[in-house]
Amino acid sequence: QDSPLKAVRMLWVNLIMDPLASLALATEPPTEALLLRRPYGRDHPLVSGTMLRNILGHAAYQLLVIFTLLFAALQRAQRAQAARREERL
């Protein structure tokens, strides 16, 4: 007996993935040369060197921002905790 949850999961996957694919297709302007070029072969990598460099660069940038915000939040919380301790004395 199939669970209806499987269908709901598929709907969620479609809801999440379809806008991302649409954005990916919408970012490249349609040109005649793009429409006339031959498809890439099966032995070509999906991620080119430039794409990999961009992915790693963005990942490093996002990690830097997140860790900076985390460090700043921890410092702020420690200062607030120290101020509360001083008020009690």
Q: Answer whether residue 1 shows pLDDT above 70.
A: no
The domains of the chain are located at 4-29+47-87
* C-alpha atoms less than 13 angstroms from C-alpha of 41 in its C-beta half-sphere: 2
C-alpha distance from residue 3 to each of 7, 8, 9 (Å): 8, 9, 11
Q: What is the pTM of this model?
A: 0.55
**Per-residue buried b or exposed e for 6-40, using 16+ beta carbons within 10 Å of the residue's own CB:** eeeeeeeeeeeeeeeeeeeeeeeeeeeeeeeeeee
How confident is the model over 17-53, as pLDDT tens digits? 788 777 777 777 778 887 888 888 889 988 899 999 9
- Mark out the alpha helices in 2-48 (DSSP H runs): 4-26, 32-36
Higher pLDDT, 25 or 86: 86
How confident is the model over 48-79, as pLDDT tens digits? 999 999 999 999 999 999 999 999 999 999 99
